[in-house]
Amino acid sequence: MNTSARLAKANFFCTHGVCLISLFLTCASSVSAEPKSLSPEKREAIEKAVSSFMSANSVPGIGVAVVLEGQPVWSAGFGMADLEDFAPVTSSTLFRLGSISKPITATAILQLWERGKLDLDAPVQKYCPAFPQKEWPITARELLAHLGGIRHYHPDGKGDIPEDSARHFASMEESLHIFAVDPLVAKPGTKFNYSTYGYTLVGCVLEGAASQNTWTMYATMFSGRPAWTIPRPMIFSRSFDIARAGITKTNPVWSAMPASWTPATKSPAAA
Domain boundaries, the chain: 3-94, 100-222
Q: Which is catalytic among the residues 75, 99, 260, 267?
A: 99
| pLDDT(110) > 80 | yes
The reply to whether 99 belongs to the active site is: yes
What CATH class does 100-222 carry?
Answer: alpha beta
pLDDT of 231: 56
Spatial distance between the Cα atoms of 167 and 236, rounded to a whole number of angstroms: 10
| pLDDT(235) > 90 | no
Average pLDDT, whole number, for the chain?
Answer: 74
Contact 201, 131 (CB under 8 A): yes
Spatial distance between the Cα atoms of 159 and 91, rounded to a whole number of angstroms: 38
Name the more confident of 256 and 74: 74
Spatial distance between the Cα atoms of 61 and 13, rounded to a whole number of angstroms: 9
Contact 18, 63 (CB under 8 A): yes
